[in-house]
Amino acid sequence: MLPKTAEYALRTMACLAYASDQSESADQLAEQTKVPRRYLNTVLQDLVRAELVRSRSGPGGGYALARSAEEITILDVVNAVAPLERIRHCPLGLPSHTSLCPLHKELDRAYAATEEAFSQVTIGQLLRSTSKIIPLCEFSVE
């Protein structure tokens, strides 16, 4: 249901949240999230533009969350990279459809429910899960 870009952005945000106050390089993030490095650059640019991530260049630089993981919802992340598009009018442009037909009305209702669900879950909540699996990223234990 979600575009690959949104999945990649969510993995990235989970890894940055897990790293806490540390900056992570794009190379580290690519390895941990299993996102192709070139694609990750685009995702990171979108997250920076949305003010969810901050970047710092130079030695010791990298990427970090711009706000607390408790303040960033799944919907914030998705909207930063691949916004859910609600159906406001007939996508087919049919002149006789002055309001949504039953099909598009139901599809829009599903999109609305998805938006609502995504707005209720923060990145911080994902990290506090009782699962032993770190959400959406892989860290090697040394």
pLDDT of 12-31, one tens digit each?
999 999 887 789 999 999 99
Residue 132: count of CB within 10 angstroms of its CB: 5
Give the torsion through C-alpha atoms of 12, 16, 17, 19, to 10 deg: 140
Report the alpha-carbon distance of residue 142 to residue 139 in Å, rounded.
9
Whole-model pTM?
Answer: 0.86
Tokens, residue 55: 């970047």
3-state secondary structure at position 131: coil
pLDDT band at 142 (very low <50, low <70, confident <90, very high): very low
Average pLDDT estimate for 76-99: 86
What mean pLDDT is reported for the chain? 88
Residue 25 half-sphere exposure toward CB, CA atoms < 13 A? 6
141: pLDDT strictly greater than 50? no
Work out the angle between the directed axes of helices 4-18 and 37-49 (0-180°, nearest 10).
Answer: 80
pLDDT of residue 130: 77
Taking alpha carbons only, the member of 57, 56, 55 closest to residue 46 is 55
pLDDT band at 57 (very low <50, low <70, confident <90, very high): confident
Which numeric CATH code is attached to 4-127?
1.10.10.10
pLDDT band at 139 (very low <50, low <70, confident <90, very high): low
Average pLDDT estimate for 3-11: 95
Residue 63: count of CB within 10 angstroms of its CB: 23
